[in-house]
Structure 1
Amino acid sequence: MGREEAVVPGDERDRRWATAPRPHRVVERRTDGPGRVTLSLTPASPPKAGADRPATRPLPGQYWVLDLEGGVQVPAVDVTDLTEACGDAVVQVTTLRVPCGQTMGVVGDLIEVRGPMGAGWDLESVTGRDLVLIGWDTGVALLSPLVEQAEARGVRSVRMWAGGCERWLSRPEWRDLAGRDGVRLSPGPDMSAAAGELDLDPGNTIALVAGPWPMACDTARALIDRGLPAASVQLAAHSFLRCGNRRCGRCRLAPSGGVLRACLDGPVLAYDRIMQGA
């Protein structure tokens, strides 16, 4: 049986939750599917003196919590497109689930927002190395903001694979696919099969994987079988996020007793941490 991790004031992870809710106005709304909407948000007013301020730019893969009426809290992943000429203040988020009966995010509405929170994609070590992006279903949106950032950081090469596509995509094709309203990828080879066919330089490759959790873990193992160190494979665990207040404990990555939680330790984690903590 795994032990319960206490989060005490002053804990590094606790500081991720220090941001007070701030009112944001919805300036754009897109429906992506049942329970999922993408919202463009801009602060409704400047923060009060002495109030916690968010990072100048959120890291792709971090998440926000939208506080709705009645105490409902909705986790939303950051999918801000850094190439959009919409100003630094605009943040784009995609809700991970919208509770039944909730209508949210009408253009002009005010929503209380907390964040960004958690660990996003770690791109610190990609310079001069090969980057492999593998996404399936909603994971495509999680990975799409990374294309321009990878180029800016001087990666040696970028390869992208979207579940349901029969071939590796060029960067313009990936951007078009990820940004198309209501895109639905047709069935195709699974992520782990694509990973198993890759020609890799294991010591100089970083792989970022986003998709249904069992499939993402299978893909990580396939990449490790090809020689990648587990620390060089990052997985998105956004699907585990639940309450948005880090209290319920339902976002454990291993319900049988592991100590890692998506809200506190993730939602993006290197696979070696998952192996050790699950």
Structure 2
Amino acid sequence: MSRVMPPLPYRVTATHPETADAVSLELLPAAAALPRFRPGQFAMVYAFGVGEVPISVSAIRHQDGALVHTVRAVGAVSGALCRLRPGDVVGLRGPYGTGWDLDSAAGADVLVIAGGIGLAPLRPVVHQVLDRPRRYGRLGVLVGARTAEDLLYRDELRHWRTSAQVEVTVDRPTPGWQGTVGVVTGLLDRSELRAENTCALLCGPEVMIRHTAQALIARGLPAHRIQVSLERNMRCGTGHCGHCQLGPLLLCLDGPVVDYAGSQPLLAVREL
């Protein structure tokens, strides 16, 4: 299949405000559907007349081809997407990029660590692990956000606690917050998962990824058992423009999900 493709029309069937500046868009194909997405992959989402941006899928419904994208308004295109209403149409290209390697996690405990909007690409991982409890070991979900008001999927976090260990921390407490305050690495000591039988999946700001991965390695988790989702300025999704280059990697092709053992030396170079 050619990676250069025209966008297919998808209709907004529902919108779910997540925070003051983030919305989840439920999309159904208006005609032909894109090929099946895997957790961790992304689509180029086109707001007609404005432009397109890469957004990872935050939920996948295979029975009817529905996709969910959680969008934070940070620019013209993402702002236009956040203003969409049911019945509106967007264009989608994809699926692009690598997904989370959940086959390698079979039989192991799964530790999901997310910072801010980074929980969105990891949400399908949580769904899959919870849907297939016999395939995986225990599930841990560690989440960090700027404030309690910036937490995504708050109702789901409460629901996940019935089947997984879920720990949440915020950088800045707001009135009424009675939970943990601090960076997400501070939650690692609470994890009940065993380092020798754990696969860790990380997504969030790059500085959070680096510090968390190093903290996991210090606790005995091998670097090759850590997967990270990295972000660069993706513009084409096809490897032609080069804006998403990280050393020898083009993250729209070789990522966004990569093995930390291979990406660690690249992330150590600030200029990259």
Normalising by the smaller structure, the TM-score range is 0.7 to 0.9
Shift of 1:34: 6.7
- Out of 254, 259, 263, the position equivalent to 1:265 is 254
Secondary structure, aligned partner of 1:17? coil
CA distance in 1, matches of 2:156, 2:86: 29
* Cα distance, 1:205–1:185 mapped onto 2, change above 3 Å: closer
Relative to structure 1, is the Cα distance of residues 99 and 173 closer, same or farther in structure 2, using a 3 angstrom cutoff?
closer
Alignment pair present for 1:107 and 2:96: no
Cα deviations by residue, 1:202-231 (Å, 9 ceiling, x for unpaired): 332100112211111110111111121111
- Superposition map of 1:200-239 within 5 A: 201-238=194-231
The answer as to whether partners of 2:169 and 2:183 remain within 8 angstroms in 1 is no
Aligned residue runs from structure 1 range 139-154, under 5 A = 139-151=118-130, 152=132, 154=135
CA-CA distance at 1:30 after TM superposition: 2.9
* 1:226-271 alpha-carbon deviations (Å, 9 max, x no partner): 1211111111224x24324444433334xxxx22232221111110
Flag structure 1 segments of 5+ consecutive residues without an equivalent. Answer: 1-14, 48-52, 166-171, 179-183
- For 1:208 and 1:130, the matched residues in 2 are separated by 11
Question: What is the CA–CA distance in structure 2 between the aligned matches of 1:154 and 1:129, rounded to whole Å?
Answer: 8
| Paired letter, 2:185 | S
Taking structure 1 as reference, are residues 185 and 20 closer, same or farther at Cα in structure 2, changes over 3 Å only?
farther
User: Match of 1:4?
Assistant: none
Match of residue 243 from structure 2: 250
Structure in which a larger fraction of residues adopt strand? 2
| Cα distance in 2 for residues equivalent to 1:16 and 1:263 | 14
- Which amino acid counterpart does residue 96 of structure 2 have in structure 1? M
Q: What's 1:93 paired with? A: 69
Equivalent residue of 2:80, what SS? coil
Alignment correspondent of 1:37 = 23
Identity of aligned residues (%): 32
C-alpha deviation, 1:136, in angstroms: 1.8
Distance of 2:12 and 2:40 partners within structure 1: 20
1:124 Cα shift? Answer: 0.4
* CA contact 1:196–1:226 (8 Å) conserved in 2: no
8 Å contact kept, 1:67–1:111: yes
| Partners of 1:259 and 1:196 in 2: CA distance | 35
Q: Contact (CA 8 Å) 2:170, 2:182: kept in 1 or not? A: no
Distance 1:241 1:88, change over 3 A: farther
Among candidates 186, 191, 197, match of residue 170 of structure 2: 186
Preserved CA contact (<8 Å) 1:144 1:175: no
Distance change in 2, residues 1:97/1:250 (3 Å) = farther
Inter-partner Cα distance in structure 2 for 1:173 and 1:67 = 28
Report the TM-score, using the length of structure 2 for normalisation.
0.75
- Structure 2: any 5+ residue segments left out of the alignment? 148-154, 162-167, 172-180, 268-272
Question: Which consecutive aligned stretches of 4+ in structure 1 deviate over 6 angstroms post-superposition?
Answer: none
Q: Given that residues 136 and 210 in structure 1 are in contact (C-alpha distance below 8 angstroms), is that contact kept between their aligned partners in structure 2?
A: yes
After superposition, the CA RMSD in angstroms is 3.2
Q: Distance in 2 between matches of 1:267 and 1:223?
A: 20
Aligned length: 239
